[in-house]
Structure 1
Amino acid sequence: MDPIDNPRARTAAVRALEAEFGELISRFRRVLSENANRVSPGMLPGAYKVLTTIARKEQVTLSHLADCLMADKGQISRAVRELEALQLVTRTPDPEDGRSSLISPTAFGLERLSVARAPQEGALLKALDAWSLADIENLSRMLHALSAGETP
């Protein structure tokens, strides 16, 4: 019987995958927490995630930021105010919508992010050093399919 047709084997494999994701998520949360603390002592991981998203997008509205992070606009607004108070981001009027602002990282914010990320810089490269390029590309393809709800 093909493993794809064996419901017990499939359930066991999915449970094992779920456990591995749990470990990966726990490790990722630790990294986020450590990085947040390096940006600014006491910064919560959620605010750090908001900052990294703003830095990645370069310029973003509050609404788009909330959509990207699948979070409540009020929660994101509080995090942005915290980041502004720390001079890590700035708001400018949105030229396309006078009721809205564009949020951008400051040079200081980008510098703090760089400092915060330095200890983990290259960790993924190092962890995957012995992997073949094909295996890395396959993992990337499979994770994309999983997160998009597609069949690889």
Structure 2
Amino acid sequence: MTDEGPTEREQAMRAVELEFSELIAQVRRIIMRNADRVSPGMLPGAYKVFTTIADAGPLTASAIADRLMIDKGQLSRTVRELEDLGLVARTPDPSDGRAHLLEPTEDGRRRLATARAPQEHGLSRALEKWDVSDVRRLADLLHALTHEQVPGAD
């Protein structure tokens, strides 16, 4: 920062930070609404565990803990809660007799689909009037950001 105030780059970085903050807040609201639709009072953390199982399962508890970077004790309590709600079920892991695989129940899949339905096409709606070249550019920029690359420097 100079004596005259923030540089153009600093102003641009602050604008990006602000927009990411808004996006994150919007995603949190969606997750909270979806969690409540799956089961009234469900916490966002339990919803994240459930969606991980539903989207990537069947998984062992260790695989979920590693993927979400959460404490195994907390995960165990959350899985018990999800089982009590009838959303997930355990089956023996055929490759490791000591472990169990977690997967969504049919009721869990149905409830998750119902919860996700209201915003199922939200991104498509938000971008439907954008020029396709702008959508591609957004994807390229996000890819570069998440992979710590310079845009267009393939």
TM-score by length of 2: 0.88
User: C-alpha separation between the residues in 2 aligned to 1:115 and 1:34?
Assistant: 12
What CA deviation, in whole Å up to 9, does each residue of 1:8-63 have, x standing for no partner? 22221111101100001111111100110000000001111111111110311111
Q: Which residue of 1 aligns with 2:3?
A: none
Q: Which residue of 1 aligns with 2:105?
A: 106
Q: Which residue of 2 aligns with 1:150?
A: 149
User: C-alpha separation between the residues in 2 aligned to 1:64 and 1:137?
Assistant: 33
User: C-alpha separation between the residues in 2 aligned to 1:150 and 1:12?
Assistant: 21
Partner SS state of residue 151, structure 1: coil
Q: Which residue of 2 aligns with 1:67?
A: 66
Identical pairs, percent: 57
Q: Would the alpha carbon gap of residues 93 and 78 (structure 1) be closer, same or farther in structure 2, given more than 3 Å must change?
A: same
Q: Which residue of 2 aligns with 1:19?
A: 18
Q: Which residue of 2 aligns with 1:115?
A: 114
Q: Would the alpha carbon gap of residues 38 and 15 (structure 1) be closer, same or farther in structure 2, given more than 3 Å must change?
A: same
Q: Which residue of 2 aligns with 1:77?
A: 76
Would you tell me which structure has more helix in proportion to its own residues? 1
User: C-alpha separation between the residues in 1 aligned to 2:97 and 2:86?
Assistant: 23
User: C-alpha separation between the residues in 2 aligned to 1:134 and 1:70?
Assistant: 36
**Any unmatched runs of 5+ in structure 1?**
1-6
What CA deviation, in whole Å up to 9, does each residue of 1:97-150 have, x standing for no partner? 122111111111010001111111211111111112222222223222222333
* Farther-moved stretch of structure 1 (63-72 vs 46-55): 63-72
Q: Which residue of 2 aligns with 1:3?
A: none
* Runs of 4+ in structure 1 over 3 Å off: none
TM-score by length of 1: 0.89
User: C-alpha separation between the residues in 1 aligned to 2:149 and 2:55?
Assistant: 25
**Any unmatched runs of 5+ in structure 2?**
1-5
Q: Which residue of 1 aligns with 2:135?
A: 136
Q: Would the alpha carbon gap of residues 70 and 149 (structure 1) be closer, same or farther in structure 2, given more than 3 Å must change?
A: farther
User: C-alpha separation between the residues in 2 aligned to 1:145 and 1:72?
Assistant: 30
Paired amino acid for 1:29: R
Indicate whether 1:97 and 2:96 are aligned: yes
